[in-house]
Amino acid sequence: MAYSNNVRPMPEKPNFHMTPEEFRRHGKAVVDWIADYYEHVESYPVMSQAKPGQIRASLPKNPPAQGEPFEAMLKDVEKLILPGITHWQSPNFFAFFPSNTSFPSIMGEMLSAGLGVQGMLWATSPACTELETHVLDWLVDMLALPKSFSSSSNGGGVIQDTASNSSLCALLAARERATNYASNEHGCDGRLVAYTSSQAHSSIEKAVKIAGLGRENLRLVEVDETFAMRPAALAAQIKNDTAAHRIPCFVSATVGTTSSNAMDPVRAIGEICREHKIWLHVDAAMSGTAALCPEFRWIHDGLELADSYCFNPHKWMFTNFDCDCFYVADRKALINTMSVLPEYLRNQATESGAVIDYRDWHVPLGRRFRALKLWFVIRHYGIEGLQHHVRRHVELAQQFASWVRNDTQFELAAPVPLNLVCFRHRAGDAVTQAIMDRLNQSGDLYFTHTKLDGKFTLRLCIGQTATELQHVQSAWLRIREEAAAAKA
Ligand SMILES: Cc1ncc(COP(=O)(O)O)c(C=O)c1O
């Protein structure tokens, strides 16, 4: 139907909703649009070339007084929004850690939006809770996680929005356990201390601020030459703090640090935590997915000593953002920490004690039906399909690392345990940075940097759904071309 003046005609009776028939039509157009986008995503400049304020300036100053036709909105996505998109799903996206997705996941997300349920309590949609429990138990087996994390033991898993929130919940539970649940009642004891390595993700520092421990009570433990936490340095710090009448309550170990994919030695750290009765959280945000493959499960050695663990299917397991899986070995500690029960949430199922109410497992009350997309991903790929793609990414990264290793101009800056390669030009920081800046500006690929041993270091992470050998080959070719240009 054609509309005049870009205004939807007034319905006869005042009802401005889209009809199921219109939704059917426009919804199909949206699916087509998404499919076309994926077919052509490689042709866009990977990093958005938009200047600050450019997208906003292209938008109408005022909201429409009268509703607009859907076609106009979809056209504007193409015209106004796409220029401001960095194409995370491009096979030439190698920046940060991936945030990959897949069509089964997208369809799970659509159904979740379509059902529109809010799963704060078991009673508000039993399937939302029970599917989540079930899929998280599947993942315990799929990743060979300790049985203590399964819902059939004293622990269990829950989907959180992000690893940041999982770490926060772990820290809050650690704080409460260490103070016999008194901090929730009387405020935080200023003597509580948390530990993580100097290479840990910034979300740990943020959690320490939010949980009220105070940043001065976070110890950034020294790392070894592979950028992994030194257990002896951790033990020494704990000893100092205990001698000063402080209360060590929380250690966060990282399986795959953001900077360089370093693997903290979980077993040695876990033994120290057990000795001192300290909560051990393991943050495996990206790298945890590798444990789908038995040959990479060494990254989790000692995980049975952990009190909590998280990894993000929204990074490397083809499940669109957001989806973080958070596990605890003792669900009571978490629930006692988080639970508040106002009258308006009371219901028979909760009172019976026979159900899980996930609202007690994290900060927000409301929760989306995220398990659907994870369920679809696991069912579509099967364990073997997921293993295949994870192995392929690791193989490609190892291939790239071997090219760097054999090149006289470049050097590896850290070990390459999985799918992240850290490297730099031997000519120094200026040339290394120029290579990155020129390539990112070119739109051909997108990668980011870190500093290791005080030196500017490039990070190339291989984990996007559609990345294949030819993308990695052409990245290496372009990197060498730009190195030649930067030196000229
Ligand atoms: C090791 C690690 N932990 C935590 C995070 C934070 O992840 P999220 O965005 O899910 O909070 C990241 C992000 O890259 C990470 O690499």
pLDDT digits (tens, 9 = 90+) for 272-319: 999 999 999 999 999 999 999 999 999 999 999 999 999 999 999 999
What is the arithmetic mean of pLDDT over 186-203?
95
**pLDDT at residue 7 greater than cutoff 90:** no
Stated length of the chain: 488
pTM score, whole prediction: 0.95
Categorize the per-residue pLDDT at 14 as very low, low, confident or very high, splitting at 50, 70 and 90.
confident
pLDDT at res. 11:
67
pLDDT at res. 284:
98
Q: Which residue has the higher pLDDT, 9 or 436?
A: 436
What is the arithmetic mean of pLDDT over 79-90?
97
Which atom of ligand 1 lies nearest, measured to the CA of 287? 1
Alpha carbon of 164 to ligand 1 centroid (Å): 6
pLDDT at res. 4:
60
Alpha carbon of 201 to ligand 1 centroid (Å): 6
**pLDDT at residue 171 greater than cutoff 70:** yes
If one residue of 171, 197, 258 were mutated to test the ligand 1 pocket, choosing by the most ligand atoms within 8 A of its CB, it would be 258
pLDDT digits (tens, 9 = 90+) for 419-465: 999 999 999 999 999 999 999 999 999 999 999 999 999 999 999 99
Mean pLDDT (the chain, rounded)? 96
Alpha carbon of 268 to ligand 1 centroid (Å): 23
What is the arithmetic mean of pLDDT over 388-397?
98
Which atom of ligand 1 lies nearest, measured to the CA of 256? 1
pLDDT digits (tens, 9 = 90+) for 321-376: 999 999 999 999 999 999 998 999 999 999 999 999 999 999 999 999 999 999 99
**pLDDT at residue 3 greater than cutoff 60:** no
Categorize the per-residue pLDDT at 411 as very low, low, confident or very high, splitting at 50, 70 and 90.
very high
pLDDT at res. 8:
72
pLDDT at res. 6:
75
pLDDT digits (tens, 9 = 90+) for 208-259: 999 999 999 999 999 999 999 999 999 999 999 999 999 999 999 999 999 9
Alpha carbon of 351 to ligand 1 centroid (Å): 36
pLDDT at res. 70:
97
Q: How far apart are CA 249 and CA 99, in angstroms?
A: 32
Q: In what order do the strands lie in the sheet with 192-197?
A: 156-160, 324-328, 308-311, 279-283, 247-254, 192-197, 218-221
State residue 148 phi and psi, 5-degree precision: -60, -20
What is the arithmetic mean of pLDDT over 141-148?
98
Categorize the per-residue pLDDT at 5 as very low, low, confident or very high, splitting at 50, 70 and 90.
low
Q: Name every protein residue with a CB atom under 6 angstroms from any ligand 1 atom.
A: 97, 162-164, 201, 203, 254, 257-258, 283, 285-286, 312, 324
